[in-house]
Structure 1
Amino acid sequence: MPTFDSSFITNHTCLRIKDPKISIPFYEKNFGLKHISQLHLPDRTLYILGIENESNKNLNWCAREGILELCHHSGSENDSSFKVNNGNGEKDRGFGHICFSVDNIEEAEKKLLGNEVSFKKKLSDGRQKNIAFALDPDGYWIELIEHGVNKVENKTDLSSYKLNHTMIRVKDPKASLKFYREVLGFKLFHTKVFEDAKFTLYFLGYESPDFKEDSLDVSTQATKQSVLELTHNWGTENDDSFPGYHDGNSTENGAIAGYGHFGIACDNAEKLCREIESEFPEVEWALKYGEGPAKIIAFVKDPDGYQVEIFNTDSFKDWTDGKPPL
């Protein structure tokens, strides 16, 4: 296996958006994120958002967990035909949602409703009364769960919110778990089985080498950031007619893009990429390290075609006003 050390973190989730002047204030006002950086590329701008606190405010954003990257393609805000695929429609399903864990979920929901945020599911809807799903300006689903840390009755504190996890659907959990655990070094935090609905959830991320897999309790997991949730709907792995999930980026056969990728960081991304190439030659790449304009990032594909960005914890620190050094 590749070499994994304590520098490895799950860093960010990338979503395409129509208008940053709408999306950035939405996440700042409703979820406590702060616009901390941006990267200007030839045809798009990446807006970097995160919740700042005393422990991370002096860190390069690449060395932090809980980052949301909003990708804005130039001119989309003025294009009446522009839209994104939120991943949950009947066609081109794949990405499911991002999730914020909050101190007081009842009060968080009240605050969002007061701010006229639309909901796919309120706490009072359906069987599960401890989760809700809000909608962002582009229609992406945002799950709400409660971590309950320093919970105060009738109040909610945005500074306590955490970008807890990102959910993607997978066809074959055995293949996906092998990839994320062996190729990228993730640990399996927790497995949740829904017998009646016939689906299973797998939660993964980085942990210490001596961590006992599948042992993390739900309350502790809710306090983490940038966890990856894999959703497996039973039977897809053995269904030859199943077309597979949309990776969020493809526009083939009329598909619409939306979700971009999940990102991990470490102190030596080039070394990790070389080890993956050597030890797992069957793994596909969207971009290899050292190639492309930036040279300092790579995109590897998981078994379903979802892209995972790999970069250094000190990447982009020398960019000024969103532009690379001359």
Structure 2
Amino acid sequence: MVRIIPMASSSLNLASLRPCSSYSSLSSFRIPIISRFGVSLSSSCYNPSRRIAFFHLGGAVPQSQLFGMRTSKLLRGEGNCTGLSTAGNMSQASTASTQENALEWVKNDKRRLLHVVYRVGDLDRTIKFYTECLGMKLLRKRDIPEERYTNAFLGYGPEDSHFVIELTYNYDVDKYDIGTGFGHFGIAVEDVAKTVDLIKAKGGKVTREPGPVKGGKTVIAFIEDPDGYKFELIERGPTPEPLCQVMLRVGDLDRSIRFYEKAFGMELLRTRDNPEYKYTIAMMGYGPEDKNAVLELTYNYGVTEYDKGNAYAQIAIGTDDVYKTAEAIKLCGGKITREPGPLPGINTKITACLDPDGWKSVFVDNLDFLKELE
């Protein structure tokens, strides 16, 4: 379901904003200008960061080292146009071969969605809502008083095998702007109506009563958490991954599909066009929807830019090699916002990037991530 979320005004003390995650990187913040239709006239987002992440660590490893290619020396032919042409052809062939190797490696990399990160205004209130109304478990908390923020991890199973939520509370900041680009999270439940009744009994806000999706048979409902984040409840049989979707709006669906397929190694699981309501969706992920968390990319006809606010932060994805990952993203036209390398203090290797619409993702070394959980 596609809805353009109206902007919520808030007064923020920018100096008090801290990271949404230990994997965050420094970015800029601009107050967005919003048209009457809720579409941003200037697209920018604020991604606060821990001080340890401000250091520019780990320069990019040359692609010749990353993918086992030996860089060819250019042929020199003084006054010989044939020699120059041959050199150019060899250079192009080498580049094409490197790209092919990089993209093939991406397909074989062991990747999965680890967690989604966003900011909330009252951590205890949100934990109470997610555990009592949505049936999640509080997996762990960490408080960083010197940086004035606290994280809480919640989900339906252990972090080493499930997609989970990482909430961030920045001291003394009680409100954020969700913007118009973020859509909703999806949760698979066995009985939508019963879940909605429970949420109502706990004082939760239901924005769409249970019923079949338009043009289909799947029963859904929509609710909002205390900070205004939308959750789609999807009636589905037992699943190993109840936290099943993150919906983001994009300005060019074909461009986004190509990027996530090549740079991220995701599979296009399905698309659905709804001309009556003027939107198209594409489900992208690392496995079937009924067993894995997926990205739901939504294109609203004629809308090419959205305001991202400063509430939603990023998705973290596991990888066997952050260096090769960063190089593949560059080859696919993605923007690296943090070069691959270890974080100070915990030595977890990460790299961060932006997709063509400016949505941020962080890739985390699989082995380092498991060590963090010990």
Give the TM-score, by structure 2 length: 0.65
SS, match of residue 284 in structure 2: strand
Quote the offset at 1:291 in angstroms.
6.7
* 2:188 aligned with 1:85: no
Distance in structure 2 (CA, Å) of the matches to 1:149 and 1:35 = 21
- Distance, in Å, in 2 between the alignment partners of 1:287 and 1:43 is 23
CA RMSD for the aligned pairs?
2.6
Partner of 1:182: 262
Give 1:299 shift: 1.6
Which residue is equivalent to 1:260? 313
User: Which amino acid is the alignment partner of residue 226 of structure 1?
Assistant: A
Partners of 1:34 and 1:269 in 2: CA distance:
30
Q: Distance in 2 between matches of 1:83 and 1:314?
A: 35
Could you say what secondary structure the match of 2:141 adopts? strand
Matched, 1:98 2:98: no
1:173–1:232: 8 Å Cα contact kept in structure 2?
yes
Partner of 1:197: 277
Q: Residue 31 of structure 1 aligns with which residue?
A: 134
The structural deviation recorded for 1:266 is 2.1
> What secondary structure sits across from 2:107 in the alignment?
coil
- Whole-Å separation in 2 of the counterparts to 1:165 and 1:126: 16
* Corresponding position of 2:199: 112
Superposition deviation, residue 111 in structure 1: 1.5
Tell me how far apart the structure 1 counterparts of residues 241 and 340 of structure 2 sit (CA, whole Å).
34
Residue 138 in 1 paired to residue 241 in 2? no
Which residues of 2 match residues 1-326 of structure 1 at below 5 A?
Answer: 1=103, 2-5=105-108, 7-41=110-144, 42-52=147-157, 57=158, 61=159, 63-76=160-173, 82-87=174-179, 93-123=180-210, 130-149=219-238, 162-207=242-287, 221=289, 223-237=290-304, 244-247=305-308, 256-277=309-330, 279-280=331-332, 282-290=333-341, 293=344, 296-319=349-372
Separation in 2 of the partners of 1:106 and 1:130?
Answer: 9
Could you give the per-residue CA deviations for residues 169-216 of structure 1, whole angstroms, max 9, x where no partner exists? 000011111111110000011111112011001101013xxxxxxxxx
Q: Which runs of 5+ in 2 are unaligned?
A: 1-102
- 1:8 shift after superposition: 0.8
TM-score by length of 1: 0.73
Alpha-carbon separation, structure 2, partners of 1:236 and 1:119:
27
| 2:30 alignment counterpart | none
Identity %: 26
Of residues 297-306 and 265-274 in structure 1, the stretch that sits farther from structure 2 once superposed is 265-274
Gaps of 5+ in 1: 77-81, 88-92, 151-159, 208-219, 238-243, 248-255, 322-326
Partner SS for 1:65: coil
Q: Which amino acid in structure 2 is aligned with residue 245 of structure 1? A: Y
- Higher share of residues assigned helix: 2
In structure 2, what is the equivalent of residue 212 of structure 1? Answer: none
Any idea what SS the aligned residue of 1:184 has? coil
Change over 3 Å in CA distance of 1:319–1:137 after alignment to 2: same
In structure 2, C-alpha distance between the alignment counterparts of 1:17 and 1:107, rounded to whole Å:
26
SS at match of 1:64: coil
Contact kept? 2:213, 2:219, Cα under 8 Å: no
Which residue identity lines up with residue 149 of structure 2 in the other structure?
R
Secondary structure of 1:314 counterpart: helix
**Partners of 1:28 and 1:107 in 2: how far apart?**
16
How many residues align? The count is: 265
